[in-house]
Amino acid sequence: MGIKILTKDIDVPGIQNFQVYRSYGGYNSVEKALRMTPDEVVEEVKKSGLRGRGGAGFPTGMKWSFIDKKSGKPRHLVCNADESEPGTFKDRYLMSKNPHILIEGMITSSFALGANLSYIYVRGELMYVVNILQRAIDEAYANGFLGKNILGSGYDLELHVTCGAGAYICGEETALIESLEGKRGNPRIKPPFPAISGVWSNPTVVNNVESIAAVPYIVNNGGEEYAKIGIGKSTGTKLISASGHINKPGVYEIEMGVTVEEFIYSEEYCGGIWKGRKLKAVVAGGSSVPILPANLILKLANGEPRLMSYESLSDGGFATGTMLGSGGFIVFDETASIVHNLWNFERFYHHESCGQCSPCREGTGWVEKILHKFLDGHATMEDIDLVADVAKKIEGNTICPLGDAAAWPVASAIKHFRPEFEWYVTNPEEACKPGAYYTGDKLVLA
Amino acid sequence: MLDNNIQFSPEALNLVNKYIAKFPEGKQKSAVIAVLHLAQAELGGWLKPEIMDYVASLLNIKPIEVYEVATFYSQYYMKPVGKYVIEVCHTGPCWLRGADELIAYFENKLGIKKGQTTPDGMFTLKGVECLAACGTAPVFQCGMDYYENMDNEKVDFFLDKCRQENKVSRPYPVMN
Amino acid sequence: MDLLKVTIDGIEIEVPAGTTILEAARKIGKNVPPAMCYYSKLEGSGGKCRTCIVKVSQGSTKDPRPMPKPVASCRTQVMDGMVVLNETSPEIMEARASVVEFLLINHPLDCPICDQAGECHLQDLGYAHGKQKTRYEFKRRTFDKIDIGPYVQLHMTRCILCYRCVFTCDQITNDRVHGVLNRGDSAEISTYIEKSIENDFSGNVIDVCPVGALTDKTFRFKNRVWFTKPVNAHRNCTTDKCSGKVQLWYKGNEVIRVTARKDQWGEVEEFICNTCRFEKKETTDWVIEGPAKVDNKSVIGQNHYELSYDKPVVPPKISLFADHPSFKDDSKFIN
Ligand SMILES: Cc1cc2nc3c(=O)[nH]c(=O)nc-3n(C[C@H](O)[C@H](O)[C@H](O)COP(=O)(O)O)c2cc1C
Ligand code: SF4
Ligand code: FES
Ligand code: FES
């Protein structure tokens, strides 16, 4: 069993209650941080090597050091609990089972940033989690960990939980800020970045739930201790949401550096492919990252085992690699249709485009429609190149990365599974039969 | 176009004030998302224009600002829907584990297609995008609750429970 | 004030800090990126249509790294020593062509019957960058034509969601009743419930619209602009903040339309009030200054307006749309 930081006490009965959480050492990091200076806390987070868990993997300590302190404007910390990337469900798991770890992280992190008004923005579908967090926040206020003059330190913090109402794009940090301001979730044009001008034009840091929940451990044990866990620049532990055709779907806290093979096949984690079938492909970091066939997800191009870490998963670039992303690990067995799944994902991006910028607004719908032709049995060979080209024209030309997120799955599916797309064109009757699946000889299974 | 018959209960108004109090003075517009949820829950289950105008007046913003928001987010219903809106996740990970079959079962039991409402106004069946519960697929949401690891038996149980309760079910932020 | 040096397509210019790449290019006057959503007079505009994208091959003297992706020149500020590639970058020209393609896949291409034809920025753009044949085979998005008040007609099918009209109502008028509703490719400009856009300056939405989505219902005889002759005129307007400086569009001796005067980038010079625009359609209402200068790239400048009304004419710049059904049979579109 690897080390557990975020999920250590998650199954303790009553851990949702303040007293129980506190009796397990909860809120110690607040006491410790309040005896330090804010800059010292930032320094520990820098030393920890913690990288943002929301998808982009940007070093958290560095992000914190960009916040504008000179302007004298109020600062805000906003926790991104919009969790909507298909295949990702770790934040929901953590917040609903152990809400206080997030509240504690929010207090400690807000102190480091000099924020006196902070928010947790939760996707609207997770209203029951909003209500769990609200209760935890109320308890923290009642026990003097929130509000004016926390523990007599002179530090004031107001913390609130707010909700969305159904929009994946509100996970993009500037769209989230717009939504928090009570507007449509249209991403802003950057610069200015939130660290200079965020919520109500005030300097703002947006961090993922899991990033913030790691802060108490870092403050309690020191950044260096945290940096010892993991591998290379992938320090610490990571919550992986495992779904799809595996025996044991669920959230697993792994120490970075576990091999992909161990993660998929060991009893400690996914427990192998279900129904005794073979592995066909994996989307390793949420729907937006490139899909990899079995051989490439298990091994690097040089034959070494691939590891669950930022560096190893992206080894080989987009030619033979992918990304850790949000840690949404979706597994496909030999019967899964890559073509159908791609259409499904593209329907998602089409549905979720905010519609502000032309390439994404028009392109995502176009891509979905072309892909649907494959499922209807009407696609031509030209459609394979056309859909790849349309996706390529979206990529890099949009306001926010949703355009890229919509394009990458198309490019990678066609790159690695082209014969399957061709099969839909040449054998539409067979391919479109319910239950049929591609068994072509170019398919690599594991 | 204010309709005097549209009015929150005193308890709901109290909640509205609490939502507003989460934001600095003058930033009450931020509360619009929560207030619209509450409006759906208390004022008939969907957002007719008069309700949005009422919300605008409560928050002291222009009606168009409310329409812009209401039509952007997928949890707001701009047309009448059933008392229970069954929102079945149809995104990839759920699809891999039987979302289509779950939807087909609902369609069969309710005698409607995805996107439709039963003639008695009880149920609307909707396909929605990933609910962040892919590990317990297939799943659906209804009101405040998530229903996970679904199978036909659980669906039957759920439908019976709704028919017994028989009230509009919508999520909104609860506060003490 | 400190001047920053920027090089755009090999041409160097010095501009004050805070200037965008697009504004710098406009100062140079050559190789200017096309702008469909940006409007210098509307705060917050730009960044959305992506037609003005350019490549920054050197960020600045201090940090010479290139920017990883194309940037919107209308929203990216110049840094000292920045090097920008616009028309000299084949990548950018290709990316721009695809942006134009995206803008056109759901556009009705009904230029033969559109009031904006001849002064439509999308038409110009399609002509300059578009492909001859569409690769889009699916049904195009359509919306019903609606009247928003007595003066303005909204033809949403043609809209490219530049948001200019929304900014105009927010910033130029004292009330906004319309906005962008819905999301993604279902987004539309609308008042949601039937309302009319009515206040002193609302007519300006017609002038800022880059396409024919918002048009003047009082445009008498629904004419092709290249049959009309623009003349500069003014009157002593009593509406607060209205300059009274306009362009009158004549057909023969009749004023058929009044608009604000536009600069060489197609932007209004000064906004005008609804009284000037909609109610003063007699020559006697105005002091005539003389013929308006017309951008020689535009179809009006190419003397098409001198063609007589009954001579059969081929609308200019139409080759792009030749494969579209509306061109073969435009009778059904005319109503
Ligand atoms: C389309 C889109 C959706 C996103 N969704 C989420 C999300 O649901 N949760 C999240 O934490 N970050 C999401 N992100 C990333 C955020 O923009 C941001 O990078 C992140 O919240 C920063 O936190 P971190 O540094 O702690 O990772 C999304 C980004 C994009 C472009
Ligand atoms: S890329 Fe898509 S989601 Fe992002 S701003 Fe543009 S239209 Fe909106
Ligand atoms: S795909 Fe259904 S919950 Fe994620
Ligand atoms: S003009 Fe710059 S993005 Fe539209």
Contact C161 A397 (CB under 8 A): no
Rounded Cα distance between C3 and C81, Å, is 11
Closest of A96, A128, A131, A111 to residue A45, by C-alpha: A111
Q: How many domains does chain B have?
A: 2
Rounded Cα distance between A212 and A130, Å, is 17
The distance in angstroms from the start CA to the end CA of chain C is 56
- For chain C positions 149-178, those within 8 Å of chain B (CB to CB) are 175-178
In a domain, B156, yes or no: yes
Q: Can you tell me which residue has the tokens 């085979």?
A: C137
Q: How far is A390 from chain C (nearest CA, A)?
A: 8
Q: How far is A243 from chain B (nearest CA, A)?
A: 5
Q: Say if residue C60 is in the same domain as residue C29.
A: yes
Question: Going by CA atoms, what residue is nearest to atom 8 of ligand 2?
Answer: A354
C96 CB near a chain B CB, below 8 Å?
Answer: no
Instruction: Centre a 10 Å sphere on the Cβ of residue A66 and count the other Cβ atoms it contains.
Output: 12
- Closest ligand 2 atom to residue A398 Cα is 1
Q: How far is B54 from chain C (nearest CA, A)?
A: 14
Starting from the CA of residue C163, give the closest ligand: 4
Q: What is the DSSP string of B91-136?
A: SHHHHHTTHHHHHHHHHHHHT--TT-B-TTSSEEEEEES--S-GGG
Instruction: Centre a 10 Å sphere on the Cβ of residue A25 and count the other Cβ atoms it contains.
Output: 12
List of chains touching B (3+ CB pairs within 8 A): A, C
The rounded mean pLDDT for chain A is 97
State the ipTM, two decimals. Answer: 0.97
Ligand 3 shell residues, CB under 6 Å:
A 86; B 89, 91-94, 130-134, 137, 139
For testing contact with chain A, the best of C21, C36, C50, C60 (most A CBs within 10 A): C50
Q: Say if residue C73 is in the same domain as residue C124.
A: no
What Rg value do the Cα atoms of chain B yield, rounded? Answer: 17
For testing contact with chain C, the best of A193, A351, A352, A358 (most C CBs within 10 A): A358
Cα separation values, A108 from A114, A160, A216, A350, Å: 10, 15, 7, 38
Closest of A224, A225, A179 to residue A206, by C-alpha: A179
- pLDDT tens for A310-365 read 999 999 999 999 999 999 999 999 999 999 999 999 999 999 999 999 999 999 99
Q: Are the C-beta atoms of residues B116 and B123 closer than 8 Å to each other?
A: no
Phi (first) and psi of residue A36, to 5 degrees? -100, 175
For ligand 3, pick from B87, B88, B91, B140 the residue to mutate: most ligand atoms within 8 Å of CB: B91
Q: Say if residue B112 is in the same domain as residue B151.
A: yes
The domain in which residue B121 lies consists of: 84-165
Q: Say if residue B133 is in the same domain as residue B95.
A: yes
Q: How far is C178 from chain B (nearest CA, A)?
A: 6
Rounded Cα distance between B38 and B58, Å, is 13
Starting from the CA of residue C36, give the closest ligand: 4
Which residues make beta-bridge pairs with B39? none
Q: Say if residue B117 is in the same domain as residue B145.
A: yes
In a domain, C97, yes or no: no
Q: State the pLDDT at residue B71.
A: 98
Which pairing describes strands A204-208 and A76-81: parallel, antiparallel, or unpaired? parallel
Q: Say if residue C138 is in the same domain as residue C194.
A: yes
Q: State the pLDDT at residue B99.
A: 97
Q: State the pLDDT at residue B1.
A: 62
Contact A355 C95 (CB under 8 A): no
Q: State the pLDDT at residue C10.
A: 97
Starting from the CA of residue A398, give the closest ligand: 2
- For chain A positions 206-265, those within 8 Å of chain B (CB to CB) are 241-245, 249-251
H-helix or E-strand spanning residue C112: none
In a domain, B92, yes or no: yes
Contact B95 A182 (CB under 8 A): no
Q: Say if residue C203 is in the same domain as residue C243.
A: no
Which pairing describes strands A234-235 and A230-231: parallel, antiparallel, or unpaired? antiparallel
Domain-ending residue, one of C41, C61, C92: C92
Cα separation values, B150 from A44, A344, B100, B126, B146, Å: 44, 20, 12, 16, 10
Q: Say if residue B64 is in the same domain as residue B95.
A: no
Rounded Cα distance between B174 and B171, Å, is 9
Q: Say if residue B90 is in the same domain as residue B151.
A: yes
CA angle A169, A173, A176 (to 5 degrees): 60
Rounded Cα distance between C129 and C109, Å, is 15
Q: State the pLDDT at residue C29.
A: 95
A300 CB near a chain B CB, below 8 Å?
Answer: no
In a domain, B122, yes or no: yes
Q: How far is A218 from chain B (nearest CA, A)?
A: 27
Domain-ending residue, one of B45, B72, B99: B72
Cα separation values, B145 from A150, B101, B158, B170, Å: 35, 21, 11, 9
In a domain, B150, yes or no: yes
Q: Can you tell me which residue has the tokens 């007046």?
A: B57
Q: Which regions of chain B are under pLDDT 50?
A: none
C139 CB near a chain A CB, below 8 Å?
Answer: no
Q: Is the CB of A400 under 6 A from ligand 2?
A: yes
Q: Say if residue B104 is in the same domain as residue B59.
A: no
Which residue of A351, A364, A366 is in closest CB contact with C136? A366
Which pairing describes strands A76-81 and A117-122: parallel, antiparallel, or unpaired? parallel
C22 CB near a chain A CB, below 8 Å?
Answer: no
CATH number, domain of B20, equals 1.10.10.1590
User: What are the structure tokens assigned to B131, written together?
Assistant: 């609910």
Q: Say if residue B51 is in the same domain as residue B120.
A: no
In a domain, B170, yes or no: no
Query: Digits of tens for pLDDT over chain C (335 positions)?
Result: 689 999 999 999 999 999 999 999 999 999 999 999 999 999 999 999 999 999 999 999 999 999 999 999 999 999 999 999 999 999 999 999 999 999 999 998 888 888 888 888 999 898 888 777 889 999 999 999 988 888 999 999 999 999 999 999 999 988 899 999 999 999 999 998 877 777 889 999 999 999 999 999 988 666 677 777 889 999 999 999 899 999 999 988 889 999 999 999 999 999 999 999 999 999 999 999 988 876 645 555 443 333 333 333 334 443 333 343 333 333 333 32
Tally DSSP H helices, then E strands, for chain B: 7, 4
CATH number, domain of C135, equals 3.30.70.20
In a domain, C165, yes or no: yes
- Closest ligand 4 atom to residue C35 Cα is 1
- pLDDT tens for A244-285 read 999 999 999 999 999 999 999 999 999 999 999 999 999 999
Q: Say if residue B110 is in the same domain as residue B159.
A: yes
Q: Say if residue C253 is in the same domain as residue C235.
A: yes
Contact C99 A359 (CB under 8 A): yes
Q: State the pLDDT at residue C119.
A: 83
Phi-psi region of B158 (alpha: psi -120 to 50; beta: other; left: phi over 0): alpha
Give C32's DSSP letter. Answer: P
Q: Say if residue B57 is in the same domain as residue B93.
A: no
Phi (first) and psi of residue A73, to 5 degrees? -75, 155
Q: In sequence order, which ranges of A232-380 are alpha helices (DSSP H)?
A: 260-265, 294-298, 310-313, 317-320, 338-352, 358-376
Q: Say if residue C212 is in the same domain as residue C229.
A: no
For the entire predicted model, the pTM comes to 0.94
User: What are the structure tokens assigned to C204, written together?
Assistant: 């300006």
Contacts of B1 in chain C (CB under 8 A): 193
In a domain, B134, yes or no: yes
In a domain, B174, yes or no: no
- pLDDT tens for A8-63 read 999 999 999 999 999 999 999 999 999 999 999 999 999 999 999 999 999 999 99
Closest of A19, A57, A40, A304 to residue A145, by C-alpha: A19
- Strand positions, DSSP E, C184-286: 188-190, 214-216, 229-234, 245-251, 254-260
Contact B69 A182 (CB under 8 A): yes
Q: Say if residue B100 is in the same domain as residue B161.
A: yes
Domain-ending residue, one of C188, C216, C244: C216
Q: State the pLDDT at residue C221.
A: 64
List of chains touching A (3+ CB pairs within 8 A): B, C
Q: How far is B26 from chain A (nearest CA, A)?
A: 11
Contact C95 A397 (CB under 8 A): yes
Instruction: Centre a 10 Å sphere on the Cβ of residue C334 and count the other Cβ atoms it contains.
Output: 9
For testing contact with chain A, the best of C53, C159, C162, C185 (most A CBs within 10 A): C185
Helices B99-110, B152-165: inter-axial angle, 10-degree rounding: 40
Q: Say if residue B89 is in the same domain as residue B68.
A: no
Q: Say if residue B134 is in the same domain as residue B159.
A: yes
CATH number, domain of B153, equals 3.40.30.10
Q: Are the C-beta atoms of residues A399 and A356 closer than 8 Å to each other?
A: yes
Domain-ending residue, one of C197, C216, C235: C216
Rounded Cα distance between C88 and C167, Å, is 33
A49 C-alpha vs ligand 2 centroid, how far in Å? 31
Q: Are the C-beta atoms of residues C220 and C257 closer than 8 Å to each other?
A: yes
Which pairing describes strands C179-181 and C188-190: parallel, antiparallel, or unpaired? antiparallel
Give C65's DSSP letter. Answer: P
Q: Say if residue C247 is in the same domain as residue C313.
A: yes
Buried/exposed A212-231: b ≥16 CB within 10 Å, e otherwise: bbbbbbbbbbebeebbebbb
Q: Say if residue C256 is in the same domain as residue C237.
A: yes
Domain-ending residue, one of B47, B72, B97: B72
Phi (first) and psi of residue C72, to 5 degrees? -75, 115
In a domain, C125, yes or no: yes
Helices A99-113, A209-221: inter-axial angle, 10-degree rounding: 70
Q: Confidence class of residue A1 from pLDDT cuts 50, 70 and 90?
A: low
The domain in which residue C21 lies consists of: 3-92
For testing contact with chain A, the best of B66, B134, B147, B176 (most A CBs within 10 A): B134
In a domain, C98, yes or no: no
Contact A164 B95 (CB under 8 A): no
Starting from the CA of residue A399, give the closest ligand: 2
Q: State the pLDDT at residue A434.
A: 86
